[in-house]
Amino acid sequence: MTVPIFSKTLRDQRWALVLWSLGIGALLLVMAALWPTVRDLIDADLLAALPEALVELFDIDDMVTGVGFLNTEVFSILMPGLFIAYGVGRGAHAIAGEEQDGTLEVVLVSRLSRSRIALEKAAALAVSLTVLGAVGFAFTLLASSLADMGIPASYAANGALAMMLIGLQHGALAFAVGAASGRRGLAVGVAATVAVMGYVLHVAGVLVDGLEAWQPLSPFTQAIAAGPLSDTVPLGFAWLALAAVVFVVAALPRFTRRDAAAS
């Protein structure tokens, strides 16, 4: 079986993937270069001087280890942000973007069903995020060995998987909104709003006692609460993957029945 839409969608992303990989690599290597300085800076006096909430939120007491430093400085905001931005951008472009550009029009009038086209494109999104995850894994280990951070491969793998999944969950949401509506702007808007709300809920859950019970609903909590560099595969990962699948499947009936957007 050939998968022409899948192949082409991946091919379309090749330069974006290269650039994003360079960004991920640069981020990890720069942080690795900073780490020895940070490690020597943090001591008991500093921790005592900082507000307790700040220490708790940023896990500053963990930053004396390589794992703790990367979890706090890279894998809490910056790295999830990179993966979410990539997933949402490509997810919104996959159907709604191409539809509004007019490039999907001829492809839709073919022997391939709209469901098939959507599923091939969704698969390409998942594969491209997996590639970025693999790049993140490789650079985490490289950074670790260059700066002597002592990060085990299993920790790096879980961290990369968490990033891939949080990117995929938001990307699938943008993909689904775009497929259902044919509107790229709406797709980006909805996914970005969910990302911001998820982050706010995660942070608020750490700081406000009453919100702790709601925190597991946040994709950020699901992805990074365990580290994300850690030796456990948390249940949250399954929720992220399930949500991604549900978003895409839920959008299919609407996509197959609605009018194609005119360019």
Partner 1 sequence: MELAIRNRDLTKHYGRTRALESLDLEVPRGVVFGCLGPNGAGKTTWIRSLVGLLRPTRGRAEVFGIDVTERPNEVQARIGYLPGEFNADDDLTAEEYLRFLGSVRGQHDRDRFRSIAERLELDLGRRFGDLSHGNRQKVGIAQAFMSEPELLILDEPTSGLDPLVQREFLQMLREVRAEGRTVVLSSHVVSEVEAVADAVGILREGRLVVADAMEELKGSARRRIELTFAEPPPATVLQEVPGVRELRFDGRTARLVVEGSTADLVAALARYRVEDVVSHVPDLEEVFLHHYRTGGRQDDGADLQQDPP
Q: Which is nearer to partner 1, 153 or 258 (CB)?
A: 258
Which of 112, 208, 238, 242 lies at the binding interface for partner 1 (CB under 8 A)?
A: 112
Which of 145, 154, 232, 263 lies at the binding interface for partner 1 (CB under 8 A)?
A: 263
CB of 115 to partner 1, least distance (A): 10
C-alpha separations of 129 from 77, 125, 187, 204 in Å: 17, 6, 18, 28
Which of 56, 101, 148, 212 lies at the binding interface for partner 1 (CB under 8 A)?
A: 101
Q: Which residues, including other chains, have CB under 8 Å from residue 11's CB and lie 6 or more apart?
A: none
Rounded-to-integer distance, Cα 183 and Cα 92, Å: 8
234: left (phi over 0), alpha (psi -120 to 50) or beta: beta
Going 88 to 174 to 259 to 8, the CA torsion angle's sign is positive
CB of 111 to partner 1, least distance (A): 4
Size of the site for partner 1 (CB under 8 A): 24
Q: Is 43 helix (H, G, I), strand (E, B) or coil?
A: coil
Helix axis angle, 66-73 relative to 14-41, nearest 10°? 120
Alpha-carbon 161 to chain mean position: 9
Q: Which is nearer to partner 1, 124 or 195 (CB)?
A: 124
Q: Is 1 in the site for partner 1 (CB under 8 A)?
A: no
Q: Is 109 in the site for partner 1 (CB under 8 A)?
A: yes
Q: Is 254 in the site for partner 1 (CB under 8 A)?
A: no
Q: Which is nearer to partner 1, 233 or 260 (CB)?
A: 260
Q: Is 48 in the site for partner 1 (CB under 8 A)?
A: no
Amino acid 146 reads: L
Both tokens of residue 174?
Answer: 């943008």
Which of 44, 48, 213, 262 lies at the binding interface for partner 1 (CB under 8 A)?
A: 262
In the region spanning residues 208 to 247, those forming contacts with partner 1, defined by CB under 8 A, are: none
CB of 105 to partner 1, least distance (A): 5
Verify cis geometry, omega within 30 degrees of 0, for the bond prior to 219: no
Rounded-to-integer distance, Cα 252 and Cα 118, Å: 8
Which of 107, 131, 186, 192 lies at the binding interface for partner 1 (CB under 8 A)?
A: 107
The H helix count followed by the E strand count for the chain is 13, 0
Q: Is 4 in the site for partner 1 (CB under 8 A)?
A: yes
Rounded-to-integer distance, Cα 96 and Cα 92, Å: 6
CB of 245 to partner 1, least distance (A): 24
Q: Is 62 in the site for partner 1 (CB under 8 A)?
A: no
Q: Is 113 in the site for partner 1 (CB under 8 A)?
A: yes
CB of 148 closer than 8 Å to CB of 30:
no
In the region spanning residues 8 to 27, those forming contacts with partner 1, defined by CB under 8 A, are: 8, 12
Q: Is 259 in the site for partner 1 (CB under 8 A)?
A: yes
Q: Which residues bind partner 1 (CB under 8 A)?
A: 2, 4-5, 7-8, 12, 101-103, 105-113, 257-260, 262-263
